[in-house]
Amino acid sequence: MHETYFATPPHDRARAANGRYGRRLGLFLAVSALAWASAGSAQDTDGDSVPSSDYISQLKACRDIAANDQRLACFDTAVSAMVAATDSGEVSIVDREDVRETRRSLFGFTMPKGGIFGSSDDDEDTSMLESTITDVRRLGGDTYVITIAEGSKWQMSNVPMRLRTPRAGDAVVFKKAALGSYFIRIAGQTGVKGRRIE
């Protein structure tokens, strides 16, 4: 099919291209808080690795360039660098749902403050987790190990005899307690202290 490239005025082409790059920039900025350098390192052994925050800074800096041609060239360079970094595995980009699921799977572990897994910027209560029991193992006496839908395993000791034995399919709620322990409430019963073991 024949295309007449000269049919669109130069300033319209620039405006259209700017819109495309603007949308592309918006996509990258929307996930900027969720990008991180692999292996938790700002530099590799050759010192050539760039922190993911630098890629975002480069994209943001392009917005301040007044001249269309220079601004588009800046976007093109910055986006290309970030795409190359994601392709090589140096930088990973995930959406909010991936982060939320990962937070759930890490619940019960002590996470460093800050970062996408150590804090939440939405309305999610990171001090509590609601899930479902998928497996129950009794270690003897009043000690149980339960596995939940997220794959983590939790141990409860000194479980009162008056409480019903936990079983697969039961709803379970975990709530942070003191000294790294958690209150584990199964099937709406009284909470019992426990801890994550795996």
138 in the same domain as 84: no
Of the three residues 30, 63, 93, the one that is the final residue of a domain is: 93
Classify residue 79: in a domain, yes or no.
Answer: yes
The reply to whether 108 falls in a domain is no
Q: Which stretches of the chain drop beneath a pLDDT of 50?
A: 1-47, 49
Specify whether 131 is located in the same domain as 185.
Answer: yes
Same domain as 25, residue 70: yes
Q: Is 50 helix (H, G, I), strand (E, B) or coil?
A: coil
pLDDT for position 32 = 42
Indicate whether 63 belongs to any domain: yes
Please count the structural domains in the chain. Answer: 2
CB–CB of 170/132 below 8 Å? yes
pLDDT score recorded for residue 38: 38
Rounded CA gap, 139 and 157, in Å?
9
Distances (CA, A) of 123 to 23, 118, 120, 145, 186: 27, 14, 8, 30, 24
The confidence score (pLDDT) of residue 118 equals 53
Please give the pLDDT value at position 88: 86
Query: Is residue 77 domain-shared with residue 119, that is, in the same domain?
Result: no
The whole-number pLDDT of residue 42 equals 41
Judgement on whether residues 145 and 85 belong to the same structural domain of the protein: no
Please indicate, yes or no, if residue 102 is contained in any of the structural domains: no
Q: Are residues 68 and 127 in the same domain?
A: no
**Domain CATH number, residue 143:** 2.40.50
What pLDDT score does 39 carry? 38
Amino acid 193: pLDDT: 94
Residues 11 and 89 reside in one and the same domain: yes
2 in a structural domain: no
Task: Give pLDDT tens digits for 11-26.
Answer: 444 444 444 444 444 4
Judge if 29 and 83 occupy the same domain: yes
Please report the pLDDT score of residue 111 as a whole number. 65
The per-residue pLDDT for 100 is 80
Maximum Cα interatomic distance, the chain, rounded to a whole number of Å? 83
Residue 1 lies inside a defined structural domain of this protein: no
What gap in Å lies between CA 161 and CA 141, rounded to an integer? 10
Could you tell me where the DSSP H helices lie in the chain?
10-30, 52-62, 68-88, 96-106, 115-118
Please tell me the distance from the alpha carbon of residue 198 to that of residue 193, in angstroms, as a whole number.
16
In a domain, 130, yes or no: yes
Q: Is residue 166 part of a domain?
A: yes
What residues make up the domain containing 53?
A: 7-93
Check whether residue 19 and residue 64 sit in a common domain: yes
Q: Do 11 and 87 share a domain, yes or no?
A: yes
Return phi, psi of residue 23, to 5°: -65, -40
Give pLDDT tens digits for 122-158: 556 678 999 999 999 999 889 999 999 999 999 999 9
